[in-house]
Amino acid sequence: MKPIQVGLLGIGTVGSGTFHVLQRNQEEIRRRAGRGIEIAMVADLDTTRAKQIVGDAAKVVGDAREVIANPEIDVVVELIGGYGIAKALVLEAIAAGKHVVTANKALLAVHGTEIFKAAAEKGVMVAYEAAVAGGIPIIKALREGLTANSIQWVAGIINGTTNFILSEMRDKGLDFDVVLKEAQRLGYAEADPTFDIEGVDAAHKATLMSAIAFGIPVQFDKAYVEGITKLTSTDIKYAEQLGYRIKLLGITKRTDKGVELRVHPSLVPTKRLIANVEGAMNAVVVHGDAVGTTLYYGKGAGSEPTASAVIADLVDIARMDGSDPAHRVPALAFQANTLAAAGNELPVLPMTDVVTSYYLRIRVADEAGVLAKITTLLANAGISIDAVIQREADEVGGEGSNQTDLIILTHDTREGDMDKALAEIQGLPTVLAPITRIRKEELN
């Protein structure tokens, strides 16, 4: 059978990894796919660099539209990123009848509904294993391996940059700003790290996992997004003393009222495997009603790990090219005509309706009755306390200090009730600084 012809749009880190892995493993990949997979064209603004990477093996052009216009190309691999030109090119490739492979989580999380609809109308595939957790085959696992299950929740460390920063803050007792600069110097964080540190990148990935876990439309606009910029090494240390690690988690959960979809720092019990995922590694925990809890771990970024996911998609496409679209695995795991109704039955909940437990750190005057006032306000809001610890005033404010930190762990409560109680506690004259609130996930 004729090798499937691939056009790469962008040959940076992931594109060059894709080219090299395909070359290195071409014989094994051909045996698996049942036909060869050939990168026939590469479009990149830096044609000189692109030619250095591919040599004579592929035609290099500066204009991505030349790839899309080439009738010989069966699959377009979009590795440009972002919502701008990448969106136009993906839609044009679909309109030209090409299958698309993309690592672009931002594009699919925001414009997925439009893109998957266009692909369905044209009978082509849009594959995106590389968009979530890099080399970890989590899309395959959720869409196919766990297809028997009613998925209950998914929780993941799905951004390596922030996990690296949090690991360094914990290991070295350093503050966020210091570690961020070091991460940038070492190349772990981008020059503009906003999407990573503010939780946006993780929210894009959580949005995609939410859609395929629960069979609902892609709804990034409804995700709650909070990054790690306000975390202090003090809270990381206190959490550690209480038996928890702080991780930036992407969480999506099925509840009676709807779906929770949120990204924020979370305390996770140190005894959970996922709490021990350190450095730039990624991990995703999925809980299904039949299988129970499963864990997927690996590199969430990088040249060849991400290429591994891109090529897995290319192999799927090579096998399914020309097949009846009705017989393929649906792009979002569930048949497209069922998504909207499921989305109405399972709306994404506002953050005020999310139920979780909390770590609170409250800087207070070290006086009689302060703790009693705070616990009374929590009790009045129906919030049940799991544990309270008071730090030594000397440890917190230095020798002779009359300030201290109260650390309170709560049981599960509605976020809206917690917001109300915290507003009242913050108003007490004996509360001396903005309260720190970090959500806590037991993941059991």
For 170, left (φ over 0), alpha (ψ -120 to 50), or beta?
A: alpha
Q: What tokens does 37 get?
A: 């997979």
* Least distance CB 211 / ligand HSE (angstroms): 17
User: H/E element holding 50?
Assistant: helix 47-54
Cβ-based nearer residue to ligand HSE, 41 or 301: 301
* Least distance CB 29 / ligand HSE (angstroms): 24
Beta-carbon count within 10 A of 45 CB: 11
* Least distance CB 77 / ligand HSE (angstroms): 16
Residue list 178-207, contact with ligand HSE (CB under 6 A): 196, 201
Radius of gyration of the chain (CA): 24
Number of residues that bind ligand HSE (CB under 6 A): 7
Q: Is 196 within 8 Å of 161 (Cβ atoms)?
A: yes
Cβ-based nearer residue to ligand HSE, 161 or 413: 161
Cβ-based nearer residue to ligand HSE, 170 or 391: 170
* Least distance CB 250 / ligand HSE (angstroms): 11
Measured in degrees and rounded to the nearest 5, phi and psi for residue 300 equal -95, 0
Residue list 141-160, contact with ligand HSE (CB under 6 A): 159-160
CA distances for 372 relative to 183, 189, 359, 388, 423, angstroms: 43, 44, 18, 12, 17
Q: Is 170 within 8 Å of 355 (Cβ atoms)?
A: no
The end-to-end CA distance of the chain, in Å, is: 49
Q: Of these residues, 205, 222, 247, 253, which one is catalytic?
A: 205
In angstroms, the CA 85 to CA 43 distance is 13
Measured in degrees and rounded to the nearest 5, phi and psi for residue 44 equal -155, 145
* From candidates 15, 17, 137, 300, binder to ligand HSE by CB under 6 A: 300
Q: Which of 249, 228, 267 is nearest to 386 (CA)?
A: 267
In angstroms, the CA 85 to CA 368 distance is 62
Cβ-based nearer residue to ligand HSE, 10 or 288: 10
Please give the single-letter amino acid code of residue 56.
Answer: D
- 161 contributes a contact to ligand HSE by CB under 6 A: yes
> Is 222 a catalytic site residue?
no
- 15 contributes a contact to ligand HSE by CB under 6 A: no
Q: Which of 352, 328, 348 is nearest to 120 (CA)?
A: 328
- 303 contributes a contact to ligand HSE by CB under 6 A: no
Cβ-based nearer residue to ligand HSE, 104 or 436: 104
User: Going along 53-179, which residue ranges are E strands?
Assistant: 59-61, 75-78, 99-102, 126-127, 151-157
* Least distance CB 58 / ligand HSE (angstroms): 25
* From candidates 14, 119, 283, 301, binder to ligand HSE by CB under 6 A: 301
Cβ-based nearer residue to ligand HSE, 116 or 164: 164
Q: Is 214 within 8 Å of 153 (Cβ atoms)?
A: no
In angstroms, the CA 364 to CA 431 distance is 5
* Least distance CB 300 / ligand HSE (angstroms): 5
* Least distance CB 81 / ligand HSE (angstroms): 9
* Least distance CB 113 / ligand HSE (angstroms): 21
* Least distance CB 163 / ligand HSE (angstroms): 8
Residue list 74-133, contact with ligand HSE (CB under 6 A): none
Q: Is 231 within 8 Å of 166 (Cβ atoms)?
A: yes
Cβ-based nearer residue to ligand HSE, 156 or 330: 156
Look at the block and give the residue holding tokens 């690991």.
Answer: 167
In angstroms, the CA 103 to CA 73 distance is 19
Say how many residues make up the chain.
444
Cβ-based nearer residue to ligand HSE, 288 or 300: 300
Residue list 210-239, contact with ligand HSE (CB under 6 A): none
Measured in degrees and rounded to the nearest 5, phi and psi for residue 168 equal -65, -40
CA distances for 78 relative to 54, 81, 83, 86, 318, angstroms: 17, 8, 12, 7, 17
Cβ-based nearer residue to ligand HSE, 103 or 348: 103
Residues marked as catalytic: 205
Binding site for ligand HSE (CB under 6 A): 159-161, 196, 201, 300-301
